[in-house]
Amino acid sequence: MGTSAVEAQPEGRIAIIGGQGRLPMILARALQDAGEAPLLAEMQGFPIEGAEEAEITRFRVERLALFLDHLHEAGVRRVVFAGAMRRPRLEPELFDPRSAQLVPQLVAAMQGGDDALLRAVVALFQEDGFAVVGADQVAPALLPAPGVLGAVAPGPEDERDTERAAEVVAALGAVDVGQGAVVAQGLCLAVEALPGTDHMLDVVAQLPRGDGPRGGVFYKAPKPGQERRIDLPALGPGTVERAARAGLSGVAFEAGGVLLIDRDEMIAAADAAGLFLWSRAP
């Protein structure tokens, strides 16, 4: 699996608030390997991948106060958020009185964009007495050190495209839009927005480039000043496969700011496709 968990800590049980994707179960196994017994929690409508036989606590935003009570009763003192989530559709008739009091705080944050909402969620859990920790604290080996990870290295033009893509991502992040961009020969082909990384790369794959720029780089990084404990970006083998189908030369990401899921498989896929995989120092 390629992860190494933090040593078991005395601060109380930890809950994994899981979203979609493999990250929640990777963190669960890392914690179990470290001697902890994490509580797996799943928001209604966002199933945790690979958790079919695991014991799951399910909750709804409309019953959030009751869910927080349950975490306290289960001995939880720390929470880690992992996996992709979208904003749920709320059903007003399902709110209990205490949870309804939390709605104005969350709705106001929604008007400020994704990062504002994430900060509000962190604040809500902290105000209820929980320590919020990042996925990188649970499994620090998911964050690779700076350097080229596979057999293929970026060339000078790739490095220039990556530099340009990093500038684009920083500009996007400043207005809380996205965490990724594709640049080829200095031209921005696509930027990541609400549909996400996979959609963006699929769009690039369908572009009729003709005599236009060839190759290109997909670059991913956290937004400037974003709340990293709850929304650290992640890449996996599927990212490499989509980058290859899009005709790109490689995938680059901010070292220390992006989680790699199944790193060995990613490197093997990049090598097989002739793509570089670059953990770029910020």
Q: Please report the pLDDT score of residue 8 as a whole number.
A: 40
Q: Please report the pLDDT score of residue 47 as a whole number.
A: 85
Single-letter residue type at 38: P
Which strands form 187-191's sheet, in the order they lie side by side? 147-148, 276-280, 250-254, 217-220, 180-184, 187-191
Single-letter residue type at 115: D
Average pLDDT, the chain: 88
| DSSP one-letter string for 3-34 | --PPPP-SS-EEEEEE-BSSHHHHHHHHHHHT
Q: Please report the pLDDT score of residue 109 as a whole number.
A: 65
Provide mean pLDDT across the span 172-182.
Answer: 88
pLDDT band at 50; cut points 50, 70, 90 = confident
More reliable by pLDDT, 193 or 227: 193
Give the up-direction half-sphere exposure of residue 186: CA atoms within 13 A in the CB hemisphere: 1
Residue 118 pLDDT > 80: no
Q: Please report the pLDDT score of residue 51 as a whole number.
A: 82
3-state secondary structure of 125: helix
Show the domains of the chain with their CATH numbers: 13-138 (3.40.50.20), 143-280 (3.40.140.80)
Tell me, rounded to whole angstroms, the distance of Cα 250 from its chain centroid: 20
pTM score, two decimals? 0.83
Provide mean pLDDT across the span 200-229.
Answer: 87
Residue 44 pLDDT > 80: yes
The candidate with the shortest Cα–Cα distance to 260, out of 66, 2, 15, 82, is: 2
CA dihedral (45, 82, 119, 106) in degrees, to 10, reads 10
Provide mean pLDDT across the span 30-35.
Answer: 92
Residue 219 pLDDT > 60: yes
* CA separation for the pair 69, 222 (Å, rounded): 32
pLDDT tens string 90-115: 788 888 999 888 877 776 666 665 66
pLDDT tens string 64-98: 999 999 999 999 999 999 887 777 777 888 889 99
